[in-house]
Amino acid sequence: MTEMSRRERKKKETRERIFSNAMQLFRLNGFTATSVDQITQRADVGKGTFYNYFSTKEAVVLEFSRRSWQDLVDKGRQQPSMSTRQRLGNLLYDWAEFMIKDREIAWVTVRNREGANYDLSLHYALMAIITVGQQNCEISGEFDPAFLAESLEGMMVQHFIRWFVSGIGDLHEELNHALLVFLDGLSEKKQEA
């Protein structure tokens, strides 16, 4: 393992200083009310330096969501003995906690999910859990895991958007219901005579 050069270390420190100061300001003032000028003043860097590391304020938030979602993915990997239902339930619970805690920041990530910098960690985490569930015969192997992951992620995001815009309801409960529909479907189970 090679040691980081002084220049690389300085670049990493500058990027981290900009990132952490921007996130503090977003939480303090709100994303919309925070300007790049405020971020650069607080981080004690020039505006050009900000743009060397982040193309926009949204890019800072996308970096935050990437890190946060990667933490969720890593946490999920530490629970291999759980059933697929439990692992998906835990991931959705943790995701909802993130979305509730950093509501405005989460909204920025959802609004920017079609961009080229959108992080696919959540999608790949869902796909990995679903794939293992198919291998363990807990989930039907009839459908491609990528399709199933996209479907569940779409349900999650849509419920978040509705919750965010309406300001009512319990996001945890809504995601739990979405997971039930996803795993159990909507058809009535016939009782055996």
The Cα-based distances of 28 to 65, 88, 145 in angstroms read 18, 32, 40
Residue 113 has pLDDT above 90, yes or no: no
Q: What's the pTM value of the predicted model, to 2 decimals?
A: 0.76
Using a 10 angstrom Cβ sphere, with 0-12 exposed, 13-18 middle and 19 or more buried, the burial of residue 146 is: middle
What percentage of the chain carries pLDDT values higher than 90? Answer: 52
Give residue 39's pLDDT: 97
Contact 119, 62 (CB under 8 A): yes
Two tokens at 144?
């491609």
- Mean pLDDT, residues 24-53: 94
- Mean pLDDT, residues 96-113: 84
- Mean pLDDT, residues 161-190: 88
List the domains of the chain with CATH numbers: 1-54 (1.10.10.60), 57-184 (1.10.357.10)
Residue 43 has pLDDT above 90, yes or no: yes
Tell me the pLDDT band of 115, cut-offs 50, 70 and 90: low
Tell me the pLDDT band of 122, cut-offs 50, 70 and 90: confident
Give residue 155's pLDDT: 94
Give, as one character, the DSSP assignment of residue 188. Answer: P
pLDDT tens, residue by residue, 130-141: 998 999 899 999
* H helix or E strand, kind and range, residue 47: helix 47-53
Residue 154 has pLDDT above 80, yes or no: yes
Give residue 2's pLDDT: 61
Using a 10 angstrom Cβ sphere, with 0-12 exposed, 13-18 middle and 19 or more buried, the burial of residue 190 is: exposed
Tell me the pLDDT band of 164, cut-offs 50, 70 and 90: very high
Give residue 16's pLDDT: 95
Two tokens at 120?
């696919």
